[in-house]
Structure 1
Amino acid sequence: MADIFFDVNSNIRAVGSIRRGADGNPQSLDASIADGDTIGFHCAGSGSLRFLGVDTPEKNFQLPDSQAHRRLDSEEWETYLTDPFLPHFGPYNLDADLIAHLRASIGPGTGINHRFHGNNAEQALIAHVQADMDALGQDPGTFGYFLSFSFEVFDSYGRFLAFINRNQPEAHIPGPRPFSYNERQLERGMALPYFIWPNIAPFRKESLLESVFAPGTARQTAEASADLSRARNFVRQARANEMGVFNPADPLRLEAFEVRYLGRRELPSRAVIDLSRDDDVILQAQHYFRIPNAEDRLFIPPAFVPLFVTRGWRLEGWF
């Protein structure tokens, strides 16, 4: 079955048909067209969904100057991640401090390490979904997902962006629905947090401008949100318990977004606010590592930085 949503030159496209009624048959045009600019739409196909708020290690990714994806434990990735700053890989104008930060993590075995943790994350998610099917007495034909969207519904690849859990509408099912898969992956140490504004619960308001919290209130705002506070605590607990990516015997060396920008030989693009502090500083994108713990970073896409500046936030290290 084809994907419903897909990208053409980074523009999201979709294919569908006339909306169907409760009997499963296409509605009449009178029934499916509400007015002059609203039409009933039926999606017939499949799609992909990218979890909000978390980032798990990559299993495969494209190498520089290549459209082909390779396993992170391949010889090509191993060679590249041993030292991606060697001259024969070409110029790469990363900030010197960021290069020094990355050099502490790269070296022989980096690609193998990343693929190992990527496999673990995949198997953990499979186990979560299987456990939910077993708990509900369902199978792949009857099991469903419940999606909760934030500000952005799609990413640039045509994947949904959401918090996802098992669908559990029946009142007779014993016990409450568990935490989302996003949170369960954090709880097990299978993922690192990747909070990107405004796709995160406490910053969802009626307008974007209202969602911009005041300078000097980042820590207070993050702690006041039950969802965000819980997610951050899951990460702290996983680190304290040395689980998953925090296993001291073989901890994750590079964060997944680091592998992605290194693979593309791009510069980090999202500015960062420290959720552990109540200051007024927005760090430039290449200084994210100055906030050592991933659960304390709130990434701000470039298009939204002016909103924070208007609110009174101060840009540090941008010039």
Structure 2
Amino acid sequence: MADAFFTVGGLPRAVTSIRRDANGQPQSLNAAIPDGDTVGVHVAGSGSVRFLGIDTPEKSFQVPGAAGARRLDSAEWETYLTDPFLPQFGTFPLETPLADHLRTRIGAGAASNHRLHGDNAEQALIALVQSDITALGQNLDTFAFFLAFSFEVFDAYGRFLAFINRNQPNPNNPGPRPLSYNERMLENGAALPYIIWPNIDPFRATPLLDAVLDPGTANQVAQATPALRRARDFVRQARANGSGVFNPANPLRFEAFEVRYLGRRELPNRAVIDLSRNDDVILRPQSYFRIPNPEDRLFIPPAFVPLFAARGWRLEGWF
């Protein structure tokens, strides 16, 4: 089945058909079109869901000097992550503090380490979904996902952006529905948090401008937002337990977004606020590592930084 959602020129697009009735048959146009600016549609194809709030290690990604994606445990990635600052890879204008931070992670085995944790994350998610299928007494044909969207519905690759769980029409049968897969992946240490404003709470109905954090309230908001508070607590517990990416014998060396910007030879572009503090500082994108724990980083896409600056946030070191 073809993908229903895709991109053209980097913009999400979709192909749909006339909405179906309960028997799976196309509705009449009178039934499918309720008024002059609305039409009921049926998604005739497949799509993908990118989990909000988490990031798992890449299994394959583009690497400089190679055509197309390569497995992270390939010879190309092994060579690159051993030292991505070699002259043979060209110039890369990383500031010295960030480059020094990354140098603590490069070296032999960095690429295979990333692929190992990527494989582990994939198997962890498969196990969670299979467990839900079994718990509900369903199969691959009858099982369904429930998606909860936040501010953005699609990303630049035509994927849904959502908090995702098993679909369970009866919330108490066969028992209370578990937390979302996003949260469960954090809970078992298979993923790291990647909290990007404004997609921080699927249950918030606040207008965008009203959702801009006031200076001096970041930690307060993080503690008062249930989904965000749980996610941060899960990461702390996974770290304390040495689970998954925090395995003390072989911890994840590069965060997934670091592999992506290194692979593209592009600078990080999201500003960041420290959720562990109630200050008024927005750090520049290349300073994200100054907040050591990933659960304490709230990333702000560049288009939204002016909203925070207008609210009174201080852009530290931007000028």
Q: How far apart, in 2, do the equivalents of 1:137 and 1:297 lie?
A: 39
* Shift, 1:24, TM fit: 1.4
Q: Which residue of 2 aligns with 1:56?
A: 56
Q: 1:221 to 1:262 in 2, by over 3 A?
A: same
1:25-72: CA deviations, max 9, x gaps?
111111111222111111111111100000000000011254511000
Q: How far apart, in 2, do the equivalents of 1:268 and 1:281 lie?
A: 18
Q: 1:225 to 1:183 in 2, by over 3 A?
A: same
The answer to whether the Cα contact below 8 Å between 2:56 and 2:121 also exists between their aligned partners in 1 is yes
The number of residues matched between the two structures is 319
Q: How does 1:293-304 map to 2 (within 5 A)?
A: 293-304=293-304
1:197-255: CA deviations, max 9, x gaps?
00011894432110011100000010011111111000000000011111111000000
Q: Which residue of 1 aligns with 2:251?
A: 251
2:70 is the counterpart of 1:73: no
* Shift, 1:23, TM fit: 2.2
Structure 2 residue matching 1:215: 3-state secondary structure: coil
Q: Which residue of 1 aligns with 2:275?
A: 275
Q: Which residue of 2 aligns with 1:156?
A: 156
| Structure 2 runs not aligned, ≥5 long | none
Amino acid at match of 2:28: S
Q: TM-score, normalised by structure 1?
A: 0.98
Q: Which residue of 2 aligns with 1:83?
A: 83
The answer to whether the Cα contact below 8 Å between 1:282 and 1:313 also exists between their aligned partners in 2 is yes
Structure 1 residue matching 2:193: 3-state secondary structure: strand
Q: Which residue of 2 aligns with 1:222?
A: 222
1:178-211: CA deviations, max 9, x gaps?
1110001100100000000000118944321100
Q: Which residue of 2 aligns with 1:135?
A: 135
| Aligned sequence identity (%) | 71
2:190 is the counterpart of 1:190: yes
Amino acid at match of 1:247: N
Q: TM-score, normalised by structure 2?
A: 0.98
The answer to whether the Cα contact below 8 Å between 2:135 and 2:174 also exists between their aligned partners in 1 is no
Stretch of structure 1 that moved more, 3-12 or 23-32: 23-32
The answer to whether the Cα contact below 8 Å between 1:202 and 1:222 also exists between their aligned partners in 2 is no
Q: 1:312 to 1:247 in 2, by over 3 A?
A: same
Q: How far apart, in 2, do the equivalents of 1:211 and 1:192 lie?
A: 24
Q: 1:87 to 1:232 in 2, by over 3 A?
A: same
* Shift, 1:170, TM fit: 2.6
Q: Which residue of 2 aligns with 1:6?
A: 6
The answer to whether the Cα contact below 8 Å between 1:61 and 1:69 also exists between their aligned partners in 2 is yes
Structure 2 residue matching 1:222: 3-state secondary structure: helix
Amino acid at match of 1:59: K
Structure 2 residue matching 1:154: 3-state secondary structure: coil
Q: How far apart, in 2, do the equivalents of 1:173 and 1:204 lie?
A: 26
Q: Which residue of 2 aligns with 1:16?
A: 16
Q: How far apart, in 2, do the equivalents of 1:206 and 1:156 lie?
A: 24
Q: How far apart, in 1, do the equivalents of 2:202 and 2:134 lie?
A: 33
Q: How far apart, in 2, do the equivalents of 1:36 and 1:186 lie?
A: 45
| Structure 1 runs not aligned, ≥5 long | none
1:123-152: CA deviations, max 9, x gaps?
000000011111111110111111100111
Amino acid at match of 1:87: P
Structure 2 residue matching 1:310: 3-state secondary structure: helix
Q: Which residue of 1 aligns with 2:38?
A: 38
2:224 is the counterpart of 1:208: no
The answer to whether the Cα contact below 8 Å between 2:148 and 2:202 also exists between their aligned partners in 1 is no
Q: How far apart, in 2, do the equivalents of 1:148 and 1:87 lie?
A: 46
The answer to whether the Cα contact below 8 Å between 2:16 and 2:42 also exists between their aligned partners in 1 is yes
Q: 1:317 to 1:202 in 2, by over 3 A?
A: farther
